[in-house]
Chains A and B, each alone.
Chain A
Amino acid sequence: MEWETVIGLEVHVQLSTKSKLFSGSATKFGADPNTQANIYDLAMPGTLPVLNRDALRMAVRFGVAIGAEIGKRSVFDRKNYFYPDLPKGYQVSQLDYPIVGKGSLTVTLDDGSEKVIGITRAHMEEDAGKSLHEDYEGMTAIDLNRAGTPLLEIVSEPDIRSAREAVAYLKKLHSIIRYLDISDAIMAQGSMRCDANISIRPKGETELSTRTEIKNINSFRFVEKAINYEVRRQREVLEDGGRIVQETRLYDADKDETRSMRSKEVANDYRYFPEPDLLPIVIDEAYIAAIRAKLPELPDAKKLRFRDEYGLGEYDAGVLVSSRELAEYFETVARGSGDAKLAANWVTGELQALLNKHNWEVNDSPIQADRLATLVARIKDETISGKIAKTVFESMLDDSSEVDAIIESKGLKQVTDSAAIEKIVDEVIAGNPNQVQQYKEGKHQVIGFLVGQAMKLSQGKANPGQVNALLKEKLK
Chain B
Amino acid sequence: MIEKTVAELSVALASGDISSVELTQAYLNRIAELNTELNAFITVCDESALDQARAADAARANGEAGALLGIPMAHKDIFCTQGISTTCGSRMLQNFVSPYDATVVKRFKAAGAVTLGKTNMDEFAMGSSNENSFFGPVRNPWDTNRVPGGSSGGSAAAVAAGLCAMATGTDTGGSIRQPAAFCGITGFKPSYGRVSRWGMIAFASSLDQAGTLCQSAEDAALMMNVMAGLDSKDSTSIDRDVEDYTATLDDSLDGLKIGIPRQHFAQGLNAEVEQAIRDALREYEKLGATIKEIDLPNNHLSVSAYYVVAPAEASANLSRYDGVRYGYRCENPLDLEDMYKRSRSEGFGDEVKRRIMVGTYALSAGYYDAYYRKAQKIRRLIKNDFNAAFEEVDIIVGPTSPHTAFKLGAKSDPVAMYLEDIYTIAANLAGLPAISIPGGMVNGLPIGLHLVGNDFAEAKVLNIAHQFQQQTGWHRRKPSAFTQEG
Determine how close the nearest CB of chain A comes to the CB of B25; give it in whole angstroms. Answer: 30
B202 to chain A, nearest CB (A): 7
Contact of B365 among A87, A269, A277 (CB under 8 A): A269
Q: Is the CB of B363 within 8 A of A271?
A: yes
**Which B residues touch A43, using CB under 8 A?**
320, 325
Contact of A45 among B96, B234, B315 (CB under 8 A): B96
Binds B, one of A77-85, A298-306, A355-363, A365-373: A77-85
B319 pairs with A89, CB closer than 8 A: yes
B416 contact set on A, CB distance < 8 A: none
CA distance A458 to B204 in the complex (A): 88
Measured in the bound complex, the distance between the Cα atoms of B197 and A78 in whole Å is 19
Smallest CB separation, B314 vs chain A (Å): 11
Are the C-beta atoms of B365 and A47 separated by less than 8 Å?
no
Instruction: Confirm or deny: B374 has a beta carbon within 8 angstroms of a beta carbon on chain A.
Output: no
Q: Which residues of chain B are near A279, meaning CB under 8 Å?
A: 235-236
Residues in A with CB closer than 8 Å to B234 are: 48
Q: Is A242 an interface residue (CB 8 A)?
A: no
Binds A, one of B98-106, B153-161, B475-483: B98-106
B305 CB–A CB distance under 8 Å: no
Q: Do A84 and B232 touch across chains, with their CB atoms under 8 A apart?
A: no
A278 interface hit (Cβ, 8 Å): yes
Interface string of B187-207 (1 = CB under 8 A from A): 000000000011111101110
A88 interface residue per 8 A CB criterion: yes
Instruction: For the complex, give the distance between the alpha carbons of A363 and B323 in Å.
Output: 47
Q: Kindly list chain B residues whose C-beta atoms are within 8 Å of the C-beta of A50.
A: 232-233, 235
Partner of A49, one of B201, B235, B325, B372: B235
Does any Cβ of B come within 8 Å of A457's Cβ? no
Q: In the bound complex, do residue A84 and residue B324 qualify as a contact, i.e. CB atoms below 8 Å apart? A: yes
Interface class of chain A by DSSP: loop
A270 closest partner in B (C-beta): B365
Mark each residue of chain B from 87 to 118: 1 if its CB lies under 8 Å from any CB of chain A, else 0: 01000010010111010000000000000000
Please tell me if the beta carbons of A277 and B236 are within 8 angstroms of each other in the complex. Answer: yes
Chain A residue, CB-CB nearest to B78: A46
B360 within 8 A of A: yes
- Known contacts A39-B99, A271-B364, A45 near B235 by CB under 8 Å: no
How many A-B contacts at CB < 8 Å in the complex?
99
Please, what's the 1-or-0 string for A101-125, where 1 marks a CB less than 8 Å from any CB in chain B? 0000000000000000000000000
Residue of A nearest to B232 (CB): A50
In the bound complex, residues from chain A placing their C-beta under 8 Å from that of B368 are 271, 273
B421 proximal to A (CB < 8 A): no
Q: Given A44-B99, A45-B96, A47-B198, are A276 and B320 also a contact pair (CB < 8 Å)?
A: no
The reply to whether B199 and A276 form a contact with Cβ atoms under 8 Å apart is no
A168 to B206, CA, bound (A): 45
Query: Distance (Å) between the CB of B173 and the closest chain A CB?
Result: 15
- With beta carbons under 8 angstroms apart, the residue of B88, B235, B313, B325 that contacts A48 is B235
Q: Is A90 an interface residue (CB 8 A)?
A: yes
Contacts A39-B100, A43-B325, A278-B235: A88 and B320 contacting too (C-beta < 8 A)? yes
* Complex interface: chain A residues within 8 A of B206 (CB): 276
Q: Which residues of B contact A269 (CB under 8 A)?
A: 364-365
B363→A44 contact, CB < 8 A: no
Q: Is B316 within 8 A of A78, CB to CB? A: yes
Partner of B319, one of A47, A49, A82: A82
Query: In the complex, which residues 180-232 of chain B have their Cβ closer than 8 Å to any Cβ of chain A?
Result: 197-202, 204-206, 232
Report Cα–Cα, A145/B262, bound state, in Å.
56
Is A379 among interface residues, defined by CB-CB distance under 8 A?
no
Assess whether A42 is interfacial by the CB under 8 Å rule: yes
- Within the assembled complex, what's the spacing in Å between the Cα atoms of A456 and B37? 110
Give, as a whole number of angstroms, the nearest-CB distance from A411 to chain B: 68
* B458 contacts the other chain (CB 8 A): no
Asked if A51 is at the interface of the complex by the 8 Å CB criterion, the answer is: yes
- Within 8 Å by CB of A46, from B198, B235, B313, B372, lies B198
Given contacts A89-B322, A277-B205, is CB(A84)–CB(B336) below 8 Å?
yes
Q: A271-B364, A273-B363, A276-B206 known; A46 and B201 CB under 8 Å?
A: yes
Residues of chain B with a CB closer than 8 A to A47's CB: 198-199
Contact in complex: A46, B80 (CB < 8 Å): yes
CA distance A47 to B364 in the complex (A): 26
**A163: min CB distance to chain B, Å:** 33
Closest chain-B Cβ to A272's Cβ sits at a distance in Å of: 8
Is B324 touching A80 in the complex (CB atoms < 8 A)?
Answer: no
Q: Is A429 an interface residue (CB 8 A)?
A: no
C-alpha gap A272/B364 in the complex (Å): 8
**What separation, in Å, do the CA atoms of A44 and B88 have in the docked complex?**
13
Contacts of B204 in A (CB 8 A): 276
Cα A44 to Cα B98 in complex, Å, equals 8
Complex interface: chain A residues within 8 A of B365 (CB): 269, 271
CA distance in complex: A43, B272 (Å): 48
Q: Which residues of A contact B205 (CB under 8 A)?
A: 276-277
Smallest distance from the beta carbon of A148 to chain B beta carbons, Å? Answer: 13
Q: Contact check, B100 vs A273: say whether CB atoms are below 8 A apart.
A: no
User: Are A45 and B325 closer than 8 Å at their CB atoms?
Assistant: no
Residues 253 to 290 of chain A near chain B (Cβ within 8 Å) = 269, 271-273, 276-279
Is A142 part of the binding interface, using a Cβ–Cβ cutoff of 8 Å? Answer: yes
Pick from A49, A87, A272, A278: contact of B320, CB under 8 Å: A87
- Tell me, yes or no, whether B312 is within 8 Å of chain A by CB: yes
Measured CB to CB, the nearest residue on chain A to B373 is A273
Annotate A121-158 by CB proximity to B: 1 below 8 A, 0 otherwise.
Answer: 00000000000000000001010000000000000000
Sample 25 A-B pairs with CB under 8 A, ordered by A number: A39-B100, A44-B99, A44-B100, A45-B80, A45-B98, A46-B80, A46-B197, A46-B200, A48-B236, A50-B233, A50-B235, A84-B324, A88-B316, A88-B320, A90-B319, A269-B364, A271-B316, A271-B360, A271-B368, A272-B363, A273-B312, A273-B316, A277-B205, A277-B235, A278-B235
Q: A48-B197, A48-B198 are in contact. List 10 more A-B contacts (CB 8 A).
A: A45-B86, A45-B96, A46-B102, A46-B202, A50-B232, A50-B235, A87-B320, A89-B320, A271-B365, A273-B316
Nearest 6 Cβ contacts at the A-B interface: A89-B319, A276-B205, A271-B363, A276-B206, A43-B320, A46-B199
